[in-house]
Amino acid sequence: MNLLITGIVIADPNSQFNQKKCDVRVEQGKITAIGNNLTASKNEQVFDGQGAVLSPGFFDLNCSIGDPGFETKEDINTATEAAKAGGFTGIAVLPNTKPVVQSKAEVEYIINRAKNNLVDVLPIGAVSQGLEGKELAELYDMKQAGAVAFSDGGKAIVDDGFMSRAIQYTQGFNGLLMVYPENKSIAGKSQINESKTSVLLGMKGLPSLAEEMHISRDIFLATYHNAPVHISNISTAGSVALIKKAKKDGVKITCDVAAHHLVFTEELLNDFDSNYKVKPPLRGKSDVKALLTGLKDGTIDAIGSQHRPHEIEFKDVEFEIASYGIIALQTVLPLLIKAGLDATQIAEKLSINPRKLLRLAVPVIEEGAEANFTVYNPTLQWEYNVASNYSKSANSPLLNKKLTGKVQLVFNNKQLQSYG
């Protein structure tokens, strides 16, 4: 596939062409020329990049797909189709499947099922057997088989001693723990953020304290072992402050935030729309402001989709019994644009840093590099509806809404996908 992109703005902090308007030529899967006034050759597809941005391909480090075992929610084929449409050329998939990804057999299954795809699909192995937080899973074997990190998905590791042992064990082979922060004894059976809104709606609230106490514990353990720990899906101003201080103190703590926590606030729950029911819950405006500040000052390393597909019977029910989560792979970019992030910030938090955290090769927009990029127009509007939704599930509050920021091309593994 030979491709010439004309007049496009490059957004890549690692490239000498960052923020410059250029023509980009791709031949046989490699970027062969970047410059101005490049002339199209015979049998070369031409894309007019006027008004568009070319970024290293997006990478999602927080994605659930359901395969194996829950393919009615999402399988690898539909997940990668949704990922492509959202601009992702790579996704790291969580182990909360059936069976749980807890040995090399499940890791190899995912890798083999996803072969020859435009989207790189990388398994995250479970920390504990059955995600129960009691016995270590086969961490080293999974790492050898291709697991890029270890997580118990949306389940917090409750036992302090178990978490300490997991950190010690992964240190031996340079493994990374990605943990969900929630103190279960404080969280209880909460539904939404603890605030005036939870009182008004008559639902049990989840206090910020539950998240922040858990993060404090993991900071202490990371300090004690002098080992890296990654905190997934932070959502409160207090969490940002804790992690900022820990980083300043030299603790090897990193973290990410879900895109919807940068835009949505708890007031959206006033109509009891279960599509806004996520975990951690939507927080207050001051939390959103702190998260955005934390992104810009480097406290928050990366942005994830927190893609959580569910069948209709798990979401189209009373709020109290609805499952947590939304489909999000196709809506991350519009949310980040709505949140006010510029193209370079998006490239850093959605393309570069997620790969750095997982110690993966980072694509660079330069001559001679393998082509791995996303082209999007930050001002183009499109409607997210049944026809344009590539996920197998439909649990998104953004369906049937017009969104700003459209992916137009993705290129990876010598494969091109375009969207009109």
Do 16 and 120 lie in one domain? The reply is no
Do 69 and 195 lie in one domain? The reply is yes
Do 174 and 256 lie in one domain? The reply is yes
Helix (H) or strand (E) holding 55: strand 53-56
Cα Rg for the chain, rounded, in angstroms?
Answer: 21
Domain that includes residue 86, residue range: 56-357
Give, in order, the Cα–Cα distances in Å from 363 to each of 178, 244, 314, 325, 387.
Answer: 23, 28, 38, 30, 31
Helix (H) or strand (E) holding 80: helix 76-85
Kindly give the parts of the chain with pLDDT less than 50: none
**Beta bridge partner(s), residue 392:** none
Do 101 and 39 lie in one domain? The reply is no
Supply the CATH number for residue 46's domain.
2.30.40.10
Supply the CATH number for residue 113's domain.
3.20.20.140
**What pTM was estimated for this model as a whole?**
0.97
Do 257 and 318 lie in one domain? The reply is yes
Report the number of distinct structural domains present in the chain.
Answer: 2
Joined tokens for residue 121:
């699909």
Joined tokens for residue 39:
């002339």
Do 49 and 64 lie in one domain? The reply is no
What does the buried/exposed string (b/e) look like for 148-158 if buried means 16 or more CB atoms within 10 Å of the residue's CB? bbbbbbbbbbb
Instruction: Flag whether 97 is in a domain.
Output: yes
Residue 369: count other Cβ atoms within 10 Å of its Cβ.
16
Give, in order, the Cα–Cα distances in Å from 95 to each of 24, 66, 315, 328, 361.
Answer: 38, 9, 22, 18, 22
Q: Is 284 helix (H, G, I), strand (E, B) or coil?
A: coil
Do 123 and 241 lie in one domain? The reply is yes
Do 373 and 337 lie in one domain? The reply is no
pLDDT per residue as tens digits for the range 68-87: 999 999 999 999 999 999 99
- Our measurement of the distance from residue 205's CA atom to the centroid of its chain's CA atoms, rounded to an integer in Å, reads 26
* The pLDDT of residue 356: 98
* The pLDDT of residue 1: 75
Give, in order, the Cα–Cα distances in Å from 266 to each of 180, 192, 199, 270, 314.
Answer: 20, 8, 12, 8, 21
CA distance 360 to 353: 10
CB within 8 Å of 201: residues ≥ 6 apart: 192, 269, 270, 272
Instruction: Flag whether 241 is in a domain.
Output: yes
pLDDT per residue as tens digits for the range 182-220: 999 999 889 999 999 999 899 999 999 999 999 999 999
Instruction: Flag whether 374 is in a domain.
Output: yes
Do 76 and 207 lie in one domain? The reply is yes
Instruction: Flag whether 362 is in a domain.
Output: no
Residue 45: which of 420, 363, 418 has the closest Cα? 418
pLDDT per residue as tens digits for the range 254-293: 999 999 999 999 999 999 999 999 999 999 999 999 999 9
Instruction: Flag whether 329 is in a domain.
Output: yes
In this structure, what are the phi and psi dihedrals at residue 202, rounded to the nearest 5 degrees?
A: 70, 35
Half-sphere exposure of 296 (CA within 13 A, CB side): 13
Instruction: Flag whether 253 is in a domain.
Output: yes
Instruction: Flag whether 397 is in a domain.
Output: no
Do 293 and 408 lie in one domain? The reply is no
Instruction: Flag whether 159 is in a domain.
Output: yes
- Our measurement of the distance from residue 24's CA atom to the centroid of its chain's CA atoms, rounded to an integer in Å, reads 27
* The pLDDT of residue 42: 86
Do 230 and 336 lie in one domain? The reply is yes
Do 204 and 250 lie in one domain? The reply is yes
